[in-house]
Structure 1
């Protein structure tokens, strides 16, 4: 589990093909590896990946074909800057929102413009994910917990304002440009709320109908 508050950025150092899957080596000289062990999770551009090797300031992760097919990772290149966040601890300050690191879809940067000291960004997301968005709601873009300032449902657009600190602490200032593919994770609470409501509707539709009638009461001695 993560919070969407980026701790460090790293550089994609190597991409290796291994038996149909992919192994990534990420160089992160600013990251503290003292509390990281093999098998721990680190979110890389919002994708929860398991550490399989640590070598000095670098670590390696294996990526399955499923992850490759469902995320923007397939477009990554050596030298790319990645947003990194270690899995949260019970004592972690919860500065963002609940992030699972399970990417729901791939979006695209549609617009970037200056807005005073901030950066105004529009991200086009898959149409099926729009129902999970709301004005002033939370969304994760490339692992960054962000607040949606507004939504444009007809265009499948979420509108964001990025403050200077967030832009500098992530790969936004150096790497985001119009047309760039980004990983999208919607609010976990919205997904589970939808599941709960759908289950309730299904239960109501499949519940036994009330079949009590005068004939039933008479047959069972309640009605003469």
Structure 2
């Protein structure tokens, strides 16, 4: 489990594709790799990955074909910037919202508007995920916990402050870019409960 509060901006050190998957290594200059052990979970652009090798300035993880299919990982190449967050500890405060690290799908930036020092993004969500997105609710974009300003049809608005733009990959987004989207897990569980009740 994660919070959507990014701890470091890293990059892809290596990428090795193979049949039905890939192996990625990630590095960062301001990330505490000494506290990572093999088997630990780390969110990379919002995707929960398991460390299979850890060095002084990198960790390596296997990425399954399922993850490649439902996230933007298939588009990422060596050198690409990524958002990093270690798994939530029980004694840690939650400044964002509860994030599972299980990306629900890929969304797309449709508009980018400067509003003072902040930037408003309009994001187009897949048809099957719109019902889980609510005004003033939470979403996770590339691993970043954000609040939905409004939603009309399949498009929702996010207002992103300068600090978030500077310490995450969101500052690099442009119109047409695709992003990892995780919807609120509480909304998903409520739907499951209601469906079971009706049946």
- Pick the TM interval, shorter chain: over 0.9
Which structure would you say has the larger Rg?
1
The aligned counterpart of 2:33 is 33
Report the CA distance between 1:184 and its aligned residue.
0.4
Q: Residue in 2 aligned with 1:103?
A: 103
How many residue pairs get aligned? The number is: 199
Q: Deviations over 1:110-146 (max 9, x none)?
A: 1111001110101111011110011100000100000
Aligned residue in 1 for 2:198: 201
Deviation at 1:19, TM superposition (A): 5.0
RMSD: 1.0
Q: Is the 8 A contact 1:109 1:124 kept in 2?
A: yes
Question: Comparing both structures, which one devotes a greater share of its residues to strand?
Answer: 2
Structure 1 residue runs of 4+, over 4 Å off? none
Partner of 2:180: 183
Q: Distance in 1 between matches of 2:53 and 2:174?
A: 32
TM-score between both structures, scaled by the size of structure 1: 0.87
Please give the alpha-carbon distance, in whole angstroms, between the structure 2 residues aligned to 1:119 and 1:142: 16
1:35-90 CA-partner distances (Å, limit 9, x unpaired): 21000011000000010111221111100111111111111121111011000101
Q: CA deviation at 1:18?
A: 4.1
2:92 is the counterpart of 1:92: yes
Given candidates 160, 163, 182, the residue that maps to 1:162 is: 160
Match of 1:125 in 2: 125
In structure 1, list runs of 5 or more residues that go unmatched: 203-224
Q: Could you report, residue by residue, the CA deviation over 1:143-191 in whole angstroms, capped at 9, with x for unpaired residues?
A: 00000000011xx111000011111111111x21111110000000000
Separation in structure 1 between the aligned mates of residue 143 and residue 107 of structure 2, nearest angstrom: 13
TM-score of the pair, normalised by structure 2: 0.97
Offset at 1:33?
1.7
Unaligned runs of 5+ in 2: none
Whether 1:48 aligns to 2:41 is no
